[in-house]
Amino acid sequence: MARETDHEKFVRLKRALQSFQSARLGQTYKDLMNDPQYDKIGHFFFEKLYAPEDFSFRDTSIKKLHQLLRGKVYSGIISAVSKVIELHELSDLLDNRMVEQMMAMGIGEDMDMEQYQTVYRSLDNYNERLYQIGLGAEVTQVFYKLSKKWVVAVSLNTVRTAAHLIGMGKIIDFIYEGYAGFRAIKNIDFFIATVDKREHAWHEQLWSTDSPLSGASIKSTQ
């Protein structure tokens, strides 16, 4: 049997890390995802934006799409795409650092919460994590505002067919799904405030040396 390369190990651990983080999100926001008014947006936010998968093909497509859309669609869509790119790149960078540290510490796919907390704190990027949380809220707000403009639907429908023809249909569908999900919500304030509060609490718990975590989530307080 061929020996696993460092790259193969890195990819395997990264998928395990992202699955771990996805499971935590699912537990922390179980109430929001089960709330009928947040059904579509919950799926988009917690499973599409932060799904445990390799985002490289999506990021590449977004960058190409960003170039192709400029001057052809409502400018707000370009701004939203830029924010999504920034969020994906930052999240991917932070995940890569986590995996590198896991490898250095000899932590495998069966990582538990105590090990996750140790890796998280050891990277000493407190402010970067706070920025990531804030950026996630900003992306959510940007999509919500776009969903209230009829010109966005017209723009997306205009480029949708062309995007599929040049192999970038999936990313347009991704943006359209976000648009449709947010459009169904009358007020996004509670959703954003709840996620912001819980993510900051989660971050502080991970950073604290006095409150070791034993489960996959923090208590889901409103």
- CA distance to 25, 63, 132, per residue, from 127 (Å): 20, 26, 9
Structure confidence at residue 40 (pLDDT): 81
Q: What is the 3-state secondary structure (H, E, C) of 181-213?
A: HHHCCCCCHHHHHHHHHHHHHHHHHHHCCCCCC
Instruction: Dump pLDDT digits (tens) for 183-201.
Output: 889 889 999 999 999 999 9
What is this structure's pTM? 0.84
130, with CB counted inside 10 A (0-12, 13-18, 19+), is middle
Least confident window among 82-86, 124-128, 165-169, 186-190: 165-169
Confidence of residue 46 (pLDDT cuts 50, 70, 90): confident
The mean pLDDT of 76-92, rounded to a whole number, is 82
63 neighbors 112 (Cβ within 8 angstroms): no
Q: Would the pLDDT of 56 be above 70? A: no
Show Cβ contacts of residue 1 under 8 Å, excluding neighbours closer than 6 positions. Answer: none
In whole angstroms, give the CA distance from residue 190 to residue 150. Answer: 24
The mean pLDDT of 128-146, rounded to a whole number, is 92
What phi and psi, each to the nearest 5 degrees, are found at residue 106? Answer: 75, 30
Structure confidence at residue 178 (pLDDT): 84
115, with CB counted inside 10 A (0-12, 13-18, 19+), is middle
In the chain, what percentage of residues exceed pLDDT 90?
39
Show Cβ contacts of residue 15 under 8 Å, excluding neighbours closer than 6 positions. Answer: 52, 53, 54
Least confident window among 18-22, 119-123, 125-129, 196-200: 18-22
Q: Would the pLDDT of 105 be above 80? A: yes
